[in-house]
């Protein structure tokens, strides 16, 4: 019996990594963790408590107290939570508190699929498969606009593009686990791919890289 199949999927906001992670997890029968929800949950805990997002000590306490049940709040999917999560994720104490949480999830006997921004570089550096999913900022903004419109959330396309560029800059420049492709990750650009084509390419990569 081979090593557990851990699939680490990283990439910037709205690159399609979450959709691919869910589909790959379903295909291989593996548990899936959207690690971005952890940071959104920390941000939401601060907001609900009326605490400033810049309060690093409070953010670290919220991260240490996080439970799996806290990941089911529908508010975590709101656009504002993405921006808030990007802010708290730059706090080193928050990332440290959530690291063991993520590694425990990935350490199950069958393996797991995790998507985020530092899975292949920090959380699961020994993952059998590492993918870095990307797309142009303009295409990612179009996808996010469609997603928000489908949920009935109004947002100007220009504002969404500005948010994405700001998040890219913040996520890539932070000192704690910046967004970047692991040295041994395969980069998949989904700019010109629809969801099914992106999944077909990702599945082929997982089969090849995981020796399945």
Fold observed for domain 5-209: Rossmann fold (3.40.50)
Q: What is the mean predicted confidence (pLDDT) over 9-28?
A: 95
> Whole-prediction pTM value?
0.89
Binding site, annotated residues for ATP? 11-19
Predicted confidence at residue 2, as pLDDT, reads: 67
Sequence-distant (6+) residues with CB within 8 A of 21 are 7, 9, 32, 34, 113, 114, 115
With a pLDDT cut of 90, the percent of the chain lying above it is 69
Contacts of 61 (CB under 8 A, 6+ apart): none
Q: How confident is the model at residue 56 (pLDDT cuts 50, 70, 90)?
A: very high
Whether 12 contacts 168, CB under 8 Å: yes
Q: Which residues are annotated as part of the binding site?
A: 11-19
158: number of Cβ within 10 Å = 10
- What's the pLDDT at 155? 83
Residue (of 32, 37, 29, 3) closest to 20 by Cα position: 32
The answer to whether residue 46 scores a pLDDT higher than 90 is yes
What CA–CA distance (Å, rounded) separates 123 from 101?
A: 10
């Amino acid at each position: 019996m081979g090593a557990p199949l851990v699939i680490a999927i990283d990439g910037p906001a709205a690159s399609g990594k979450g959709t691919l992670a869910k589909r790959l997890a379903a295909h291989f029968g593996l548990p899936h963790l959207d690690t971005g929800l952890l940071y959104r949950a920390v941000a939401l805990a601060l907001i609900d408590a009326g605490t400033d997002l810049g309060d690093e000590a409070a953010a670290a306490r919220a991260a240490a107290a996080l439970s799996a049940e806290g990941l089911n709040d529908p508010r975590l999917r709101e656009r504002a939570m993405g921006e808030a999560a990007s802010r708290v994720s730059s706090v080193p104490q928050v990332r440290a508190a959530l690291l063991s949480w993520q590694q425990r999830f990935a350490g199950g006997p069958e393996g797991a699929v995790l998507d985020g921004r530092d899975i292949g570089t920090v959380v699961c550096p020994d993952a059998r498969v590492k993918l870095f999913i990307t797309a142009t900022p303009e295409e990612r903004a179009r996808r996010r606009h469609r997603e928000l419109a489908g949920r009935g959330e109004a947002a100007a396309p220009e504002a969404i593009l500005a948010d994405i560029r700001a998040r890219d800059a913040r996520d890539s420049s932070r000192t704690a686990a910046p967004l970047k492709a692991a040295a041994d990750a395969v980069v998949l650009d989904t700019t010109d791919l629809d969801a099914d084509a992106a999944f077909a390419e990702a599945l082929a990569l997982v089969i090849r890289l995981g020796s399945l």
